[in-house]
Amino acid sequence: MGEPQDLVEGLSVTYETFYEEDPGQVGDIIEFDLLQKHGEQIVVNTYEIPNYRVRAMLAEPLFETDYMKVLRLLSPGDSVKIDIALNTIPQDQIPRELNSTNGNLTFIISVRNVWNEEKVIETMVSNLSDGNPEVWTKTSRGVRIFWDEEGKGPKAAFGDSLSIHVVGKFVSGYTFMSTFESEPVEFLLGEGIVEPKAWEDACSLVAEGDKITVLSPHEMAFGSLDRNPVLKYSTLVFEIDVLKVKKSQ
């Protein structure tokens, strides 16, 4: 491990590994393992949690010694130790678990990945459409819909009752949920209460019997919340079979 480097007064970084590759940009998502401690007190340790990592969206620092300043310098494979003087951190940013507010708050970070969600989605669109723009559409909220099979039933409209089966997948292709082994999802189109929001967004354009593949940006899936086994900021894929469109009276 190298020598500590002061970025600003109260914020220092020590590089264990640093590949000096292009770092992420504002709006990109960074995924990393984190050990956060104060002296001997462990606040967070994701290294010991299977299949879990911290994710953050790269942004402008909120205060002078915000560790976001360091995150914006990092790329996959980098490992660093960050020390921040607690007296430089705004009170509402200090972990409530701390036994004391003296000394330093230490972050030990190993970066797993950094990516731009829009570029990930564009690559998936290209792969799924094979260059054919007629097989997919994009909603006003950024959801991409691909028609795998067109049904011959009634078109859905706001106020209609829909029954659908859904398979949820990560961009890697791994399936994390399926309703085919249980009951279909039923909801009233237009109420805005179904989650993820991408389901309703996509189903506003379907007909009974349609089979579609839906690419959902994180904001239309589970957003900035972890929903086991889905980590925050996850781009998701949903395969939807429209079983029934019951027209409103």
**Does the pTM exceed 0.75?**
yes
The CA dihedral of 116, 234, 106, 62, to the nearest 10 degrees, is: 60
pLDDT tens for 42-69 read: 999 999 999 899 999 999 999 999 999 9
pLDDT tens for 223-232 read: 999 999 999 9
pLDDT tens for 139-179 read: 999 999 999 999 999 999 999 999 999 999 999 999 999 99
d(CA 111, CA 30): 7
Domains observed in the chain: 5-115 (3.10.50.40), 117-246 (3.10.50.40)
The pLDDT score that the predictor gives to residue 100 is 83
Q: Which residues contact 96 (CB under 8 A, 6 or more apart)?
A: none
Is residue 142 classed as helix, strand or coil in its secondary structure? Answer: coil
Tokens 């997919």 correspond to what residue? 136
pLDDT tens for 199-218 read: 999 999 999 999 999 999 99
Res. 122 pLDDT band, cuts 50 70 90: very high
